[in-house]
Structures are given as structure tokens and as C-alpha cells.
Amino acid sequence: MARTETPRRIRGTQDIFGDEQRRFAHVLSTFERVRALYCFQRIDIPVFESTAVFARSLGETTDVVSKEMYTFEDRGGDSLTLRPEFTAGIARAYLTEGWQQFAPLKITTSGPVFRYERPQKGRFRQFHQIDAEVIGAAEPAADVELLVLADQLLRELGIADGVTLQLNTLGDAETREAWRAALVAHFEAHRGELSEDSLTRLEKNPMRILDSKDPKDRPIADSAPDIDAYLTSEARAFFDAVTAGLDAAGVAWERNARLVRGLDYYRHTAFEFVTDRLGSQGTVLAGGRYDGLIGSLGGPETAGVGWAAGVERLAMLLDEPAAAGIDAVVVPMGAAAEARATGIVADLRRAGVAVEMAYKGKMKARMAKADALGARFAIILGDDELAKGVGAVKALATGTQTEVAFADLAEALR
């Protein structure tokens, strides 16, 4: 006999409910509140873009572009990709919408992003990011503002204590060129000791060897030259201005000279907020300055700096937020009371009172529902109450019960 199989949830996706949903929503609402304090505007951009938007701006050699993108041809034959991150789409929008006129543009967004990765704790195929960017500001003040915003967000979420800001500089173009040459010379000298992956990186993207997780690479990465000896005086001054700004704002940071972003257009500031509370998925928020990105998309040279954080990873670090309590549960007994209750519940909700109606089971089950929902009051409606035009309002914490006229219910519950 043919049986229809129940559909499954796709690997690496999530159905977010209950406690998990409360944590998730708390991250988003806190972000929304804090970004307004910093005068960042909210934008929304498409979930998919032309594949070229990501391929050109993230670079063909990155893991995201070479292995992780959800790319498909649509019915018109165009190659589209589900966004694996926000920055590239924001840069595209900046150009197509003519947002240059608003520069420096301080914006945030949030929503689902997609990467074909091996799912595990804190690593999904459809996950969610919050994102903050400043486009059109070449000043270190923009980097500082974004970092202070990130720090305040973590503090307001109550997770700042276990999370450390690691900071590095990648210098300006001249610095980067000189440092890159020194790195290549160092890695060439240790060719034989490098992992297979790092030999490929050496050809395409040598800086990435510095943040290799392969134990075979670590001693060679750790003994590689730091950027410091190659910093131009301008690049040094920029980094000093960023760290001085953080110090002035009271944001703790530590230098991590091994922290890199592999792409050519990254400049100056690179950072990650990391924790040891999430196993190997320890980076909760990451970003940096990308002054060459918009140029690489064919636009005018435009400075930019930004960060993104994984909503799931932030949510996992949270203490469980309290369930949002409701004001009252209406408990009607009998057909007449149920009919009347429908109107009372509608009126209360229109008056801004959060109220649920218990319409299943006997009186006892209905009262149990009021308790389970954490309501402050139960409003009991029986034939007697209907006749008098009142509800019996019971405070569930104390058990005290008073009669309140229907017209005064909303006021009494506030």
C-alpha cells in the first residue's frame, strides 16, 4: 500500500519555537533598540542577488564562494545566489540606489543568510545575521563607533563578560603589499611542513594560512612575521586612532596579530568578538574595513566598514529571557457566557490588554490554563455574572476575587 511520507525539515535549517524563539527575538529587539541609540538606519535588501554580486565582492578563493553558496538558475536562465552574508548586497544596493548622496551612510539590517556547510552546534545552513555598516567614511571614528555599538549590544544582552574583542590591523595598500611578500617568503621557506589546504592558500590567498586551524600549520603560522614592522606611518596612525577611541569609550580589546581577512580589499581594522563558551563555533561577531569592495563591484572608490553577528550564536549565550506574561485569561462557563466572552475578549484586546480565552474542557482545566499561561488575572464568566453584567476577576497570585462591571474591565486589568 502506498504511504505518503511525512516531509522532513531540510538539514541545517531550523524551526524556532518556545524558549529558543524568545532568545532569538530578544537578540533582535535589543539590536533594534541599540542601533537606534547610535543613529543607524534600518534597511532591507533582497534575499537573493545575481551570483556575480557575491562572486566578485567576496572573491572566488574564499570558502564562502568556492564551497558554500546556494546558487541556482531561475526560470529565466539567470544565475542567482541566496545571500551568504549582507555586505555584498548592501554594497550593490548602495550603487544601484544612488545612496552615495547620503554618505556617510550608517545602516543596519538582519535576516536569514544561507551557506552550504556541515551542520553542527552553532552552525546551520540557513542561519540569521544582524549586520551594521558605515559606508562612505574613511575615518577611524567610523570603526570606533561600530565597535562601541557591538560592545554595547553584547553588554545589553548580558553576555559581554564571556566575550573578548580581538583586534588587528591589515594596514593600507602599501603596508599590505610589503607584509604579504614577507609572509609568502616565510611560508615558502616552510613549504614542506604546510598542510595540503595551506599549500593551495599559498598560491591563492597566503594570508589565510595565518588563521588556519590545522595543527600542522600552527607552528609555521605562529612564527610568521607580524604586520607591525611593515606598517606605514599612516597605517600606524589609523590603528592608534582606533585603539585610542576604544580606550576613550571604555571598550576592552586585545591585539591578535594572527587575525586576518583574506580578501585584497580589506584594509586597516579587522576584528572578532570571540568566546570559549560555544566550542569551536566561538566567533559571535566579526568584521572590518573594506575600502576596496565597492570599487571591486565597478563603483567609485568608496570607504566602508562593518560587522555581522550570528543571531543563533548570540541567542545560545543568553540566559533564558522570561516568558512575556499576559494580563488575563477569560474563563467562560456555559454557552451563553462563551458567546458573551467573545465580545469581551475583543474589547479588552482593542483596549491594549493581552488576554487569552480558555474555551476547552471543564472549569478546572480552564483555570489551569490561566495558571500555565502565567496570567495575572482570570476573569470568570458564569450565568450569575452574565445576569449582573460583571466578570469575577481573580488575582491568580493571591486568590483575591472581585466583581468588575464589563465596561470597567480594561481599566481594572491595567
Applying CB under 6 A, which residues contact ligand ATP?
Answer: 85, 115, 117, 122-124, 127, 129, 281, 283-286, 308-310, 312-313
What's the grid cell of residue 360?
A: 476547552
Least spacing, CB of residue 384 vs ligand ATP, in Å: 57
Strand 283-289 relative to strand 304-310: parallel, antiparallel, unpaired? antiparallel
Least spacing, CB of residue 132 vs ligand ATP, in Å: 12
Least spacing, CB of residue 283 vs ligand ATP, in Å: 4
Are 175 and 231 in contact, with CB atoms under 8 Å apart? yes
Give the residue carrying C-alpha cell 502506498: 2
Q: Which is nearer to ligand ATP, 34 or 285 (by Cβ)?
A: 285
Least spacing, CB of residue 262 vs ligand ATP, in Å: 10
Distance CA 93, CA 236 (A): 32
Least spacing, CB of residue 307 vs ligand ATP, in Å: 8
Q: Is 322 helix (H, G, I), strand (E, B) or coil?
A: coil
* Cα angle 267, 271, 273; round to 5: 165
Q: Is 308 helix (H, G, I), strand (E, B) or coil?
A: strand
Q: Which is nearer to ligand ATP, 212 or 394 (by Cβ)?
A: 212
Residue among 121, 117, 126 at smallest CA distance from 48: 126
Distance CA 119, CA 126 (A): 10
Distance CA 132, CA 58 (A): 17
Q: Which is nearer to ligand ATP, 308 or 333 (by Cβ)?
A: 308
* Dihedrals phi, psi of 149, to nearest 5 degrees: -60, -45
* Cα angle 189, 191, 194; round to 5: 130
Q: Which is nearer to ligand ATP, 195 or 281 (by Cβ)?
A: 281
DSSP characters for 31-65? HHHHHHHTTPEE----SEEEHHHHHHHH-TTSHII
Contact residues for 399 (Cβ-Cβ < 8 A; gap 6+): none
Q: Which is nearer to ligand ATP, 279 or 343 (by Cβ)?
A: 279
Q: Which is nearer to ligand ATP, 112 or 382 (by Cβ)?
A: 112
Least spacing, CB of residue 58 vs ligand ATP, in Å: 9
Least spacing, CB of residue 24 vs ligand ATP, in Å: 12
Residue number of the CB closest to ligand ATP reads: 310
Distance CA 32, CA 156 (A): 12
Least spacing, CB of residue 176 vs ligand ATP, in Å: 19
Q: Which is nearer to ligand ATP, 316 or 333 (by Cβ)?
A: 316
Distance CA 344, CA 73 (A): 53
Least spacing, CB of residue 362 vs ligand ATP, in Å: 46
Q: Which is nearer to ligand ATP, 130 or 373 (by Cβ)?
A: 130
Q: Which is nearer to ligand ATP, 281 or 296 (by Cβ)?
A: 281
Are 314 and 354 in contact, with CB atoms under 8 Å apart? no
